Amino acid sequence: MRLNLQNNILVLTAILLSIFSCKNNTKNKENSELALANNTKVELTENQLLDTIQYQTFNYFWDGAEPNSGMARERIHLDENYSSSPKNTVTTGGTGFGLMAILVGVERGWITREQAFKRYTKIVNFLENADRFHGAWSHWIDGETGKVYPFGKKDNGGDLVETAFLIQGLLTVSEYFKDGNKQEQELVAKIDKLWKDVEWSWYTKGGEDVLYWHWSPEYGWDMNFPVGGYNECLIMYVLAAASPTHPISKEVYEKGWARNGAIVSKDSYYDEELVLDYFEHSDAPIGPLFWAHYSYLGLNPKGLTDQFGDYWKLTQNHAKIHYKYAIDNPKNYKGYGKDIWGFTSSYSVKGYAGHRPGDDLGVVSPTAALSSFPYTPKESMQMLKNLYKNHDSLIGKYGPYDAFSFEHKWYLPRYLAIDQGPIPVMIENHRTGLFWKLFMKNNDVQTGLKKLGFKHENKN
């Protein structure tokens, strides 16, 4: 996996981004143009690396979008093997991440505000007419028809968690455009209606003190998945409490999500406090790293506390534990160390797996470390530099491939929306705090947080 022609292409891409990005100064532009003219071998600066990976992962949701709906494809396989689901399958949660990633493109000067507005309008118009189940969308949708595409036999109805990820993105877009021109405010009004139509309280299954993940008109509540913490679903409870039309009570959060206080953990792992209990994984004290990303694309954990925990300590320690685990490398897997680390649910040597310390298959998922930039900037940069300098065969059109294993000499040129999406968004939160600023100033979100007992000290 030595440097080759692809690495030169990555260097030229970074230089071109420096030239055309509205964020770069004249001196940088002149230096970049000189390097191109002289065909100089250039080692990318840290900012160029961040620009490059943000651009590539943003492009998954821009050029790689499903053309009819404008939504994020569930997966993009450069080998064109789509045996798991049709190529036109779009993902609800992944689209929520993609809505935010597109704003990175606007802020970094790769697309215009008008281009983003047109894409958002296409997506919102599609969502207005797509199948909904008491206001919630399904996990997968046919991008050509708007009809539900089953995620599993009985998972052919509303998915409240995926819907929460989508709403997180929509509300962020709404905040970005709410003071815009007449057409932009019309888009904001449409988003507001989609938000208010979600019947969060209905997903308590008739008034139980917990939110249920799924409901199907064909199978009812047969999926039987009450959502208790801690996992990736905190944003669902926050939005459910924040709803101006179908809210849940504080008791649903305290009894369902927090399990009457059992969510609190006094344990540590690799000398880092866990803060909350990753109770679903009795064989491992820690969860996959996407748990520290999905809810926090918009929800700012920095300075966020409630009666159960400090969410900055929680998320930061989560990333630190993964990093320390890779250095310790108790299974002696090839390649693990300070610049190869991070484990999460992703493609694996055999299908798909939820990688994490305690359930480690020798597979590293780049999104785990790269989406953790706000928590572990030095450690995440070590991973980024190593990938782009020494392992460029693991990088393609839309950034690093979903997963790889040096131990098993394995990788596939394939991507998943839910893994690519957090990368540009969380890197932007690291660089400018953009999405934390937008989402956290939403009035409904503030109402929901206060209702549940959260306090937020702005530390940006």
What's the CA gap between 190 and 121, in Å, rounded? 9
Residues 6+ apart with CB under 8 A from 30: none
CB-based contact 360:327 (threshold 8 Å): no
Give all strands (DSSP E) within 15-162, no chain letters. 75-77, 89-91, 140-142, 158-159
CB-based contact 440:434 (threshold 8 Å): no
Whether the pLDDT of residue 40 is over 60: the answer is no
Q: What is the mean pLDDT of residues 67-75?
A: 98
What's the CA gap between 221 and 213, in Å, rounded? 9
CB-hemisphere CA count at 13 Å for 59?
14
Residue 458: its pLDDT value, please? 76
Q: What is the pLDDT of residues 76-94, one digit of tens each?
A: 999 999 988 899 999 999 9
pLDDT band (50, 70, 90) for residue 168: very high
pLDDT band (50, 70, 90) for residue 25: very low
Phi, psi of 298 (to 5 degrees): -110, -40
Pairing of strands 410-411, 404-405: antiparallel
Amino acid identity at 33 = E
Nearest by Cα to 402 from 378, 371, 431: 371
Topology adopted by domain 56-456: Glycosyltransferase (1.50.10)
What's the CA gap between 116 and 149, in Å, rounded? 27
Pairing of strands 214-215, 345-348: unpaired
Whether the pLDDT of residue 230 is over 60: the answer is yes
230: preceding bond cis by omega (within 30 degrees): yes
What's the CA gap between 436 and 177, in Å, rounded? 16
Q: Which residue in this structure is represented by tokens 């030169």?
A: 8
Whether the pLDDT of residue 450 is over 50: the answer is yes
Nearest by Cα to 95 from 34, 46, 166, 144: 166
Phi, psi of 457 (to 5 degrees): -95, 110
pLDDT band (50, 70, 90) for residue 16: low
Higher pLDDT, 43 or 406: 406
Q: What is the pLDDT of residues 173-212, one digit of tens each?
A: 999 999 999 999 999 999 999 999 999 999 999 999 999 9
Please state whether 300 falls in left (phi above 0), alpha (psi between -120 and 50) or beta.
beta
The tokens for 355 are 């990688």
Q: Which residue in this structure is represented by tokens 């281009």?
A: 115
Angle value at C-alpha 313, between 311 and 317, nearest 5 degrees: 120
Burial class (CB within 10 angstroms; exposed 0-12, middle 13-18, buried 19+) of 351: exposed
The tokens for 175 are 């905040």
Q: What is the mean pLDDT of residues 443-460?
A: 92
pTM comes to 0.93
The tokens for 243 are 């709803």
What's the CA gap between 332 and 310, in Å, rounded? 33
Q: What secondary structure letter does DSSP report for 405?
A: E
Helices (H), 108-256: 113-129, 160-177, 182-196, 234-242, 250-251
How many residues are present in the chain? 460
What's the CA gap between 166 and 160, in Å, rounded? 10
Angle value at C-alpha 396, between 392 and 399, nearest 5 degrees: 90
The tokens for 56 are 């590539």
The tokens for 129 are 């007419």
Q: What secondary structure letter does DSSP report for 206?
A: T
Higher pLDDT, 398 or 23: 398
pLDDT band (50, 70, 90) for residue 6: low
Could you count the other beta carbons within 10 Å of the beta carbon of residue 67?
11
Residue 216, beta-bridge partner list = 220
Nearest by Cα to 424 from 28, 212, 13, 106: 106
Q: What is the mean pLDDT of residues 167-173?
A: 98
What's the CA gap between 195 and 174, in Å, rounded? 11
Helix (H, G, I), strand (E, B), or coil: what is residue 213?
Answer: coil
Q: Of all helices (H) and strands (E), which one includes residue 6?
A: helix 5-20
Whether the pLDDT of residue 124 is over 90: the answer is yes
Of the candidate ranges 134-138, 277-281, 347-351, 407-411, the one whose mean pLDDT is the lowest: 277-281
pLDDT band (50, 70, 90) for residue 35: very low
Amino acid identity at 190 = K
Residues 6+ apart with CB under 8 A from 193: none
What's the CA gap between 146 and 170, in Å, rounded? 18
Residue 282: its pLDDT value, please? 64
